[in-house]
Amino acid sequence: MPNRSNLIYRYDGSFEGLLCCVFESYDQHEIPLDIFSPASLQTTLLPEKDIRTETAKANRVLASIPQKISPAALDFIKRAFLTCHAQKELYILLFLRMGYRYGASVMNMLTDDVVNTLFTAVKHLDKESHLFKGFIRFSVFNNALVAEIEPKNVVLPFLVRHFRERYPEERFLIYDKTHRMGLIYQPYQATIIPIEELDLPETDENERSFRELWQLFYDTIEIKERHNPKCRMSLMPKRYWKNMTEFGSAEEKPSVSRHGNDAVKSLNFKIAAEEKLLD
Amino acid sequence: MKLDVFDKLKILTDAAKYDVACTSSGVNKRASAGGIGSAASCGICHSFSADGRCISLLKVLMTNVCAYDCQYCVNRRSNDTPRTSFTPRELAELTINFYRRNYIEGLFLSSGVLKDPDYTTERMLEALRILREEYRFSGYIHAKAIPGTNSALIARLGMLADRMSVNIELPSQNSLRLLAPDKSKHSILAPMGYIQNRIQENSKELVQYRSAPKFAPAGQSTQMIIGATPDTDFQILNLTESLYKKYKLKRVFFSAYMPVADNAMLPALNTKPPLLREHRLYQADWLLRYYGFAANELLDQQHQSFNPYIDPKCNWALNHMEFFPVDVNRASYNSLLRVPGIGVLSAKRIITARRTTTLHFAGLKKLGVVLKRAQYFISCGGRQAEGLKFAPKTMLQSLLSDKTLTLYRQNFPEAPAEQMSLFDPPSMVQAQSMQEELRKCLTAPI
């Protein structure tokens, strides 16, 4: 078993790149102290090593996971990679090292610190994507549905199936402001693409009256004698309220935009084409 | 015309808000070709109102005009309140527009009795027909069966709705006779039994023909009002258990009575809703459905009310110390479920985790076990937690929630301190007697 070194790996932020870190770790018999992506702003005095992304190496690691550990473990680390855990890359590497050693049973080792850390992170991701199935609020612009969310984890891939089964005949866009990407659907295909910025045109009267009807319903359905704001807050934390129609957020949403109506009309959004995303 | 819909929505939501069930669970569906709407069997909450209750469905009445005069109900005939009705089309359009914007998971449709139960149900049927046939809507629909409705109409309602419910309203026939003179035990149980039979028949049809039309695929539920009548927790819990067994209900809901009428037979208008009691009943309901408890284990003839300070599971545990400590490394899933501080999820995780390793107290925390409570009832490898104190004061703090601890201290300001002085510094040898003492002080009839 190689010792933990004081090396820092730097990779390109892609899943393939991370698999190459795993390759490097085995190739060099070393375990890095941490793994930085281009997104991490940390600087360090410790020695750094840039890990080049090579598809051949990544594929070798990818193929080995279901074979030597289990298909469930592969699915698990794919999810873990989409979480907001600050050191997810390092923990995925440590998890895979355990997996190669213990095999499929690594998924049962829930009391181990590494496994527990990743399980907790994935649980957070799963919970958040479940909540968004309910908390997302669409507005209708030119008969297309548009919603904006600010999740902590990358939840869009987990919403695709739900919303395409729900609205098979609609055109819709869910814009993830945190990660600057969007889920675009038109019958019958869905894609996730990077979107730098989203400006929405002004809402029409029909849309406004349904928002008001919903706010009216929301305020009326409360039983005043049971008022319990603490309970509501724990079930629906405040960070979600910002983009929810019932809290009047709809009114404050950007009304005039630089890119204007036309963009939304055709559901063509400004696309930063160079980046490739996981599906 | 728009303003009209605003007024109607306000009145008919206000009149429907006391209905409890707002779940959208029990069935998996996806939109049919050219349609809209799906359902997830786990249910999806779309929002939470300021009282902390989940909003999953557009919960409204078809009309709040009512021919009945149930004393506990805001919509009773003798109440002076503005009355209105949705037209079936108005309601269907509202539902679809809310649904498209992802405000809701579907529709919860109940109604006052307009003219008679059959006429009312026909109007509900028309709204659901527009949704299902014209809009090809596959989202969730929960429909109330009005007691006294012709069973042919109920059969049609069940073909359009996912879940059906008939309200039991009050937990005993006596209470019903006094407060809901237009309803009887029979008029409530008859449609419930009919729905159950249809669901059962339908499941046979589905075995034979996979494409047979589904009758209320998400099952049926009911609700009853707590605290309007003198019925005890013991009676209510027994009734609940028999409803699950006899009528195969998916859920029984409880609603703490909100005084809505000045009537000598009902609690005074300034009475606070018995929320803690409702909470205890829900806890017990969960124990029946997921934890393998029977109603008579939780309460009996001598103890007809729940202990307000501790939850029903902990209460049971303290009365059955012979069952504990349970060894987490060996105990079966069912015994683990009986430990206070261990729930369905953590019990399953324990079973998984102990396949690869011997569990210790530190590890249990990671599995989601609430050690503060569980520590008194479990052992790891034959040993209980180190430094475990069986002093009444610490035990009270561990087993009571912050809220009930405050309540307890208000009602028994002297209790814990006094009992401390009855014993020497606690040791393991005395643990048993300490527990005994604590058990007595907590489980004494109040």
Residues of B in contact with A231 (CB under 8 A): 48, 51-52
CB contact under 8 A, B103 and A214: yes
Q: What is the DSSP string of A198-258?
A: -------HHHHHHHHHHHHHHHHHS-GGG--HHHHHHHS-GGGGGG-GGGTHHHHS--S-S
Asked if the peptide bond before residue B325 counts as cis, ω within 30 degrees of 0, the response is: yes
Give the pLDDT of residue B438. 61
Q: Which position has the higher pLDDT, A250 or B372?
A: B372
Report the pLDDT value the prediction gives residue B439, as an integer from 0 to 100. Answer: 61
Distance (Å) from the alpha carbon of B166 to chain A's nearest alpha carbon: 21
Instruction: Pick B402 or B257 by higher pLDDT.
Output: B257
As for how many domains chain A has, the answer is 2
Residue B250 and residue B182 in contact, taking contact as beta carbons nearer than 8 Å: no
Nearest CA in chain A to B358: A111
Same domain, residue pair A164 and A56: no
Q: Quick check: is A276 in a domain? A: no
Specify if A203 maps to a domain.
yes
Q: Taking the domains of chain B in order of start, what are their residue ranges?
A: 2-298, 312-443
Residue B98 C-alpha, separation from nearest chain A C-alpha, in angstroms = 7
The pLDDT value recorded for residue B185 is 87
* Higher pLDDT among residues A199 and B137, named by residue: B137
pLDDT at B65: 94
A259 and A140 belong to one structural domain: yes
- Examine the domain organization and report whether A104 and A165 are in the same domain: no
Q: Give residue B381's pLDDT band: very low, low, confident or very high (50, 70, 90).
A: confident
What's residue B84's pLDDT?
A: 94
Report the pLDDT value the prediction gives residue B433, as an integer from 0 to 100.
Answer: 56
Cβ within 8 Å, pair B102-A165: no
Residue that terminates a domain, selected from A126, A152, A180: A126
Q: Is residue A1 part of a domain?
A: no
The residue with tokens 């980046």 is A275
Q: Which of A126, A151, A183 is the last residue in one of the domains?
A: A126
Poorest-pLDDT segment among A97-101, B13-17, B64-68, B167-171: B167-171
Residue B355: list chain A partners with CB under 8 A: 105, 108
Regarding whether A109 and A186 lie in a shared domain, the answer is: no
Predicted local confidence at residue A269, as pLDDT = 42
| Same domain? A101 vs A215 | no
The overall average pLDDT reported for chain B is 88
Report the percent of chain B where pLDDT is more than 70: 91
Check residue A260 and give its pLDDT.
38
- Min Cα distance A268 → chain B (Å) is 21
In the chain, the amino acid numbered B437 is E
pLDDT at position B436 is 62
Determine the pLDDT at residue A1.
Answer: 59
pLDDT for the residue numbered B307: 87
User: How far, in Å, CA of B168 to CA of B407, rounded?
Assistant: 32
A226 and A165 in a common domain: yes
Per-residue pLDDT, B2: 52
In a domain, A274, yes or no: no
Q: Which of A95, A90, A87 is nearest to A114 (CA)?
A: A95
Instruction: State the pLDDT at residue A69.
Output: 97
Decide: helix, strand or coil at residue A48.
Answer: strand
Does a structural domain hold residue A225? yes
Preferred mutation among B101, B272, B365 to probe A, highest tally of A CBs within 10 A? B101
pLDDT tens, position by position, A17-31: 999 999 999 999 999
Cis omega (within 30 of 0) for bond into B309: no
Run of H or E including A140 = strand A139-141
Mean pLDDT (whole number) for A169-190: 95
How far, in Å, CA of B371 to CA of B384, rounded? Answer: 12
pTM of the full structure: 0.88
pLDDT band, residue B414 (cuts 50/70/90): low
Task: Decide: helix, strand or coil at residue B59.
Answer: strand
pLDDT at B289 (0 to 100): 96
- In whole angstroms, what is the distance from residue B318 CA to residue B341 CA? 13
Judged against a pLDDT cut of 90, whether residue B404 lies above it is answered with no
AA identity, residue A64: S
Q: Is residue A3 part of a domain?
A: no
Local confidence band at B357 (pLDDT 50, 70, 90 cut-offs): very high
Among the ranges A14-28, A264-278, B12-26, B170-184, which has the highest mean pLDDT value? A14-28
Task: Grade residue B53 by pLDDT with cuts at 50, 70 and 90.
Answer: very high
For chain B, give the percent of residues with pLDDT over 90: 63
Range of the domain at A69: 8-126
Span B2-298 CATH architecture = Alpha-Beta Barrel (3.20)
**Are the beta carbons of A218 and B55 closer than 8 angstroms?**
yes
**pLDDT recorded at residue B339:** 96
Q: Which member of B6, B103, B357 has the closest CB to residue A109?
A: B357
Position A128 pLDDT exceeds 70: yes
Contact B36 A166 (CB under 8 A): yes
* pLDDT tens per residue across span A240-271: 999 999 987 544 444 333 343 444 444 444 33
Measured between alpha carbons, how far is A96 from A56 in angstroms, rounded to an integer?
18
Neighbours of B383 (CB within 10 A): 12
Note the pLDDT of residue B424. Answer: 37
Whether A135 sits inside 8 A of B46 (CB atoms) is: yes
Domain boundary among A107, A126, A145: A126
What would the pLDDT profile of B262-305 be if each residue is shown by its tens digit?
A: 888 888 888 888 999 999 999 999 999 999 999 999 999 988 99
ipTM over 0.95: no
For residue A28, tell me if it sits in a domain. Answer: yes
* A54 vs A58: CA distance, rounded Å: 6
Q: Are residues A34 and A83 both part of a single domain?
A: yes
Average of per-residue pLDDT across B398-402: 81
CB spacing of A231 vs B54 below 8 angstroms: no
Residues A199 and A242 placed together within one structural domain of the fold: yes
Residue B432 has what pLDDT? 54
Cross-chain Cβ contact B47/A135 below 8 Å: yes
What is the per-residue pLDDT for A88? 96
Q: Which residues touch B347 (CB under 8 Å, ≥6 apart)?
A: B333, B336, B337
DSSP B128-173: HHIIIIIS-B-SEEEEEPPTT--HHHHHHHHHH-SEEE---BSSSH
Residue of A nearest to B272 (CA): A225
Task: Report the pLDDT value the prediction gives residue B335, as an integer from 0 to 100.
Answer: 96
Among all residues of chain B, which has the CA nearest to that of A111? B363
Q: What is the CA radius of gyration of chain B?
A: 25
Residue B311 has pLDDT above 50, yes or no: yes
Q: What is the DSSP letter of A65?
A: I
CA atoms of A217 and A212, how far apart (whole Å): 9
For residue B171, pLDDT over 60 is answered with yes
Give the model confidence (pLDDT) of A157-173 as tens digits: 999 999 999 999 999 99
Q: Which of A1-5, A141-145, B342-346, B424-428 is least confident? A: B424-428
Same domain for A189 and A154: yes
Q: Are A122 and A143 within one domain? A: no
Residues A111, B31: C-beta atoms closer than 8 Å: no
**Distance in angstroms (rounded) separating the CA atoms of residues B418 and A235:** 40
pLDDT in tens, B98-140: 999 999 999 999 999 999 999 999 999 999 999 999 999 999 9
Per-residue pLDDT at B178: 87
A143/A257 same-domain check: yes
Over residues A63-68, the mean pLDDT reads: 97
CA dist B152 and B156 (Å) reads 7
Of A130, A145, A221, the CB nearest to B17: A221
Q: Are residues A241 and A152 in the same domain?
A: yes
In a domain, A270, yes or no: no
Spell out which residues of chain A touch residue B102, defining contact as CB-CB under 8 Å: 134, 136-138, 147
Confidence of residue B437 (pLDDT cuts 50, 70, 90): low
Answer whether B13 sits within 8 Å of A236, measured CB to CB.
Answer: no
